[in-house]
Amino acid sequence: MMCGASSASQPATAETQQIADQVKAQLEEKENKKFPVFSAVEFKHQVVAGMNFFIKVHVGDDHFVHLRVFQSLPHENKPLSLSSYQINKSKDDELTYF
């Protein structure tokens, strides 16, 4: 993988789910909505001055959201942050940079 380019899409892992879970409250606050289902499906990552994670999350029925989560460098000791998100996505929508 080239520095700055995002990785290929991969099936979500337990670590991906943990990352999604850590920013779930941030998304719920921004959307003023609770998500009873919040299951990471797939992800990409991008090396920047830290790491961006692009995560497709199933939020119930045929509804999905795409999350961009930033993980700072370890020495900065900052929590994960929800940088951006896209709602009204489908299972077939490709994870792309946003």
Mean local confidence (pLDDT), 8-28: 95
Boundaries of domain holding 24: 10-89
Look at residues 35, 39, 34, 21 and name the one whose alpha carbon lies nearest to residue 80.
21
pLDDT band at 5 (very low <50, low <70, confident <90, very high): confident
Residue 68: half-sphere exposure toward Cβ, Cα within 13 Å: 14
CATH of the domain at 71: 3.10.450
Rounded Cα–Cα distance for residues 74 and 54 (Å): 19
Q: What distance lies between CA 59 and its chain's CA centroid?
A: 13
Residue 3 falls inside a structural domain: no
Residue 18 falls inside a structural domain: yes
Rounded Cα–Cα distance for residues 78 and 81 (Å): 9
How many domains does the chain fold into? 1
Give 31-78 pLDDT, tens digit per residue.
999 999 999 999 999 988 899 999 999 999 999 999 999 999 989 989
N- to C-terminal Cα separation, the chain: 19
